[in-house]
Amino acid sequence: MNPVLEINNLTISFDGFKAVNNLSTSVKKGDIHFFIGPNGAGKTTLLDAICGRVKPASGNIIFHNGSDVTRLSEHEIVELGIGRKFQVPSVFNGITIYENMELAAVKVRSLYSSLFTKLTREQNERIKSVLNIIGLYEDRYRTPAKLSHGQKQWLEIGMLLVQQPEIMLLDEPVAGMGRKETEKTGELLRQISQQCSVVVVEHDMEFVRECANTVTVLHEGALLDEGDMEKVQKNPRVIEVYLGR
Ligand code: ADP
């Protein structure tokens, strides 16, 4: 599989402290790629760098078509096709699920500007298809207020998917979910990976085992091991710094 994202010798410093330290890795097209490691290992900082929230001290991040995204703005990076979902759900509870999807599809940033945007037939078809994928089609005319925590997370994932990103970045998508919702999220990610590459930061090891194709273990900002879960979970250093805890 070809890389859709390459990270080369990336170092991110905060007042001289290296949160990410000379990290090189790549994300393959269509992969479900997890970043794991102890608290403070640099996982969230890495996602922040990929989506343009923080700027590295050195190194670069190359998107598959050759674009160097390292110094682009968050907005420019979204436009290129790299979408990010944060840990806390941020859907609008006062409008319907369908309207939330409409806002996402046209990438508007306020309800006010959405009043002036008419969706194309293709965008509406895409919304319906995504609502089916996330299992909320039947609920589309309800507001998200009464959805479960898991369903709200899926709605947000759907709101990213409808923008047709090439890479989706997810920060602890199953945090706060029960086992059943976690399993459903795994199925959802597998389905999504047929359309776009999925990069996940996660602590739930059962979930990682269930759905990771590739796992990168970070420790103190650096790469400790990388490969499939089968491989990395046998590494004595990985067990020592993370899995054995
Ligand atoms: P993880 O997601 O693996 O838990 P983070 O990327 O959140 O780790 O943090 C890595 C390290 O960088 C931590 O020691 C954290 O305190 C530090 N850090 C993260 N963001 C900042 C910031 N904005 N300013 C200073 N230090 C930060």
Nearest CA to ligand 1 atom 25: 14
Tell which residue, 58, 9, 4, has the closest CA to residue 223.
9
Ligand 1 pocket list (CB less than 6 A): 14, 19, 37, 39-45
Nearest CA to ligand 1 atom 15: 40
Report the alpha-carbon distance of residue 60 to residue 11 in Å, rounded: 9
Cβ(225)–Cβ(219) below 8 Å: no
| Triad 228, 18, 206: Cα angle to 5° | 30
Nearest CA to ligand 1 atom 7: 44
Report the alpha-carbon distance of residue 144 to residue 63 in Å, rounded: 34
Residue type, position 9, single letter: N
Report the alpha-carbon distance of residue 159 to residue 83 in Å, rounded: 10
For residue 197, what are the β-bridge partners?
A: 167
Nearest CA to ligand 1 atom 13: 40
Q: Which of 31-35, 71-75, 133-137, 185-189 has the lowest mean pLDDT?
A: 71-75
Mutate-to-test residue for ligand 1 from 10, 12, 14, highest number of ligand atoms within 8 A of CB = 14
Q: Which of 10-24, 57-71, 86-100 has the lowest mean pLDDT?
A: 86-100
pLDDT, averaged across the chain: 92
Report the alpha-carbon distance of residue 46 to residue 80 in Å, rounded: 18
Q: Are strands 222-227 and 167-171 parallel, antiparallel or unpaired?
A: unpaired
Tell which residue, 130, 106, 131, has the closest CA to residue 119.
106
Nearest CA to ligand 1 atom 27: 14
Give pLDDT, residue 60: 96
How many angstroms is it from 42 CA to the middle of ligand 1? 6
Q: Please write the tens of the pLDDT for every residue from 222-238.
A: 999 999 999 999 999 99
ipTM for the predicted complex comes to 0.97
Give pLDDT, residue 64: 86
Give pLDDT, residue 90: 76
Residue 108 has pLDDT above 60, yes or no: no
Domains belonging to the chain, first-starting first, are: 3-81+165-243 (3.40.50.300)
Q: What is the mean pLDDT of residues 35-61?
A: 96
How many angstroms is it from 218 CA to the middle of ligand 1? 13
Residue 115 has pLDDT above 60, yes or no: no
